[in-house]
Amino acid sequence: MTFQTSKKMFKGISSAAQLSALIDEAGRIEYHVIGLSETKRKEPLSCTWTDGTSVFLGARKTNSTSGGVGFLVSPNFSKHVKSVTFHGHRLAILTAYLSRDSQVTIIQAYAPTADSNEEQHDSFYEQLEELVRRQRGYVVVMGDFNARVGSRKHGEVFIGPHSAEERNEPGERLASFCELHHLYHGNSQFLKAPRKRWTHISPNEQHCHEIDHILCNRRIMTDVAVVPSFNTGSDHRLVRGRFHLDCGLVRLTRIRSRQPCPTILDEDAVTRLAKEESFEVMDDIDADYENLVQTVTAIASSCRSIAPNHSSRRISASTRALLEKRRNMDRQENHVEYTLLSRLCRQRIAEDHANFARSKLLDEAENRRSLRKAKRKIAEHRLRIPCLKTANGTRCCSIPGMEEILSTFYSALFKSNLPVASKERSAMEETLPFLSSKERHAIETMPRGKAPGKDGISVELLQACGPPLYRALARRYTRYLAECTVPTAWKQSSTVLLFKKGDKEDLANYRPITLLPVLYKVFTRCILARIRRTLEEAQPVEQAGFRQSFSTLDHIATCRRLIEASREHRLPLVMTFIDYKKAFDSMEPVKI
């Protein structure tokens, strides 16, 4: 297996436009993980971009505008990431499983500058040493060490023979660190021309140095080289290391697998294909439901087209032309022009992102559509949960560990300790069949744009299938109600956590949203339509909460009337407002 990791010094990724430009540039090269230094972010960020790229960025130094490290993980490698942890503003660790028995640990480092005092250098290398000693398996250390290592000296084993410059004092410290911890210095292992070795250029474009390095604890590196075509306007060049890992259990096709492109549904084509389906009913309920889902899903799969790419349309053609011009420019011969062009590129990218968002929101507002949905639609990333606390307060950053915390927390939260009494059904009771018109009304009145369940069937898909599917659902719903049995698939759901407020590492500050199958929701709507009148007649007139046609305005009007009456008759009035913490979570479902 060939594994590619890269190191990039990026002077600030504090805005969404800068991060978007970086990810757009990264899409032009081959990589698995890119390490970032000097991100200068005030707050940490863990999110997934629209193209599937995972972003993990740490915070900068407190009371300073410098520092900060992070990672970009390619879409095809994100599923292998186990955990990402940050150790201050100079060090970060990414751990990924390549197979059941093989893992790789990548440490991103940002060393103090050469003019820093001795205490800062000692503190950095002591912390780095502690992190390296704790790792197992393949270990890769990369970053901006502000050190010129030079070529191998007498007695050294882990430093290579190739270099374009002499070793300085920070380079001596780094070389000693490599020898002490048996880390192979990747840059010096491969012969390169001097113009293909330097990683940093001085502000006046006169001095070039190799101060960004990639280290590894195994002899698995097949190449370490700069990537000149990767250009973000930074004074550092991207350094890419290639590793060949002997992992017989790793399937290369899984590593190279790509996420499917976003698609949109052609509802007219769905309607035409649905008319050709008979939706036959099978004897076994579970097999019948599975066949129904497969039929509807197959219709949808054949009626999808690639959705427009918002990310590529954010940057205008004129800005892309400027980026291409900068990419092909010799920065040493055209120092002033390159600096001005980089500044112009940053301004144009920020303007393009702002104009794109403004035009989309204005269009939604003029058409009287939801601005919240529009913001969610044009968002370039979604946030991830970076870390969770266990019951005893210990922080857990690994994905398997957080999954275990989630399972334990919500299993205990929703577990019922009361037995559910089953009611015997009278033999005289007769089940009235459902009419297709009821299914049509239930489906067509459901709000569009909602997330589907685990089966992937959305409201839009059901509405597009039309009358043939409505008749098929009426037959099945009548059977479910008559036999008091529902498909097993309806008992499975996906849960999405929405952060409310407070500590992001406390699971109690998240609201779980259960994504149920849409076909199950249609069934419950049909039953509710039958019993709504009976339920309404049984409610007292004072009950205004959780009832149709009542809102908070009714409660406010009642409170105002009480206040006016007490003032008019000069009577004392005491009003008590009670908000139960986790009210629904603390009640038994059968009591609601």
Tokens 């599975």, residue located: 290
Same domain? For 159 and 22 the reply is: yes
Report whether pLDDT(427) > 60.
no
Region 141-167: what's the mean pLDDT? 91
Sorting pLDDT into bands at 50, 70 and 90, what band is 335?
confident
- CA–CA separation, 296 and 302 (whole Å): 10
- CA–CA separation, 105 and 245 (whole Å): 13
Beta strands 45-49 and 138-144, pairing class: unpaired
The per-residue pLDDT for range 341-390, each reduced to its tens digit, is 888 988 998 899 889 989 989 998 998 888 888 888 888 888 888 888 88
Same domain? For 566 and 510 the reply is: no
> Does residue 520 form part of some domain?
yes
> Does residue 53 form part of some domain?
yes
Cβ neighbors of 390 (< 8 A, separation 6 or more) are: 396, 405
> Does residue 420 form part of some domain?
no
The residue from 537, 556, 574 where one domain ends is 537
Same domain? For 83 and 7 the reply is: yes
> Does residue 76 form part of some domain?
yes
Query: What is the CATH number for 252?
Result: 3.60.10.10
Same domain? For 296 and 319 the reply is: no
> Does residue 463 form part of some domain?
yes
> Does residue 421 form part of some domain?
no
DSSP string, 117-153: -HHHHHHHHHHHHHHHHT--SEEEEEEE------S--
Same domain? For 219 and 365 the reply is: no
Nearest to 46 by CA among 17, 83, 10: 83
Per DSSP, the three-state class of 82 is strand
Tokens 């509405």, residue located: 463
> Does residue 114 form part of some domain?
yes
The per-residue pLDDT for range 41-84, each reduced to its tens digit, is 888 999 999 888 999 999 988 888 788 999 999 998 998 899 99
Same domain? For 188 and 68 the reply is: yes
Sorting pLDDT into bands at 50, 70 and 90, what band is 320?
confident
> Which residues form the domain of 405?
263-307+386-415+428-537
CB burial of 262-300 (b: ≥16 within 10 Å; e: otherwise) equals: eeebbeebbbebbeebebeeeeebeebbbebbebbeebb
Same domain? For 175 and 298 the reply is: no
Same domain? For 400 and 337 the reply is: no
Max Cα distance, the chain (Å): 101
Same domain? For 28 and 135 the reply is: yes
The residue from 256, 289, 323 where one domain ends is 256
DSSP string, 400-415: HHHHHHHHHHHHHHH-
> Does residue 493 form part of some domain?
yes
The residue from 256, 291, 326 where one domain ends is 256
Alpha carbon 55 to chain centroid, angstroms: 8
Q: Is the dihedral of CA 349, 353, 355, 356 positive or negative?
A: positive
Same domain? For 117 and 167 the reply is: yes
Region 157-169: what's the mean pLDDT? 90
> Domain tally for the chain?
4
Same domain? For 407 and 301 the reply is: yes
Per DSSP, the three-state class of 235 is coil
Same domain? For 241 and 134 the reply is: yes
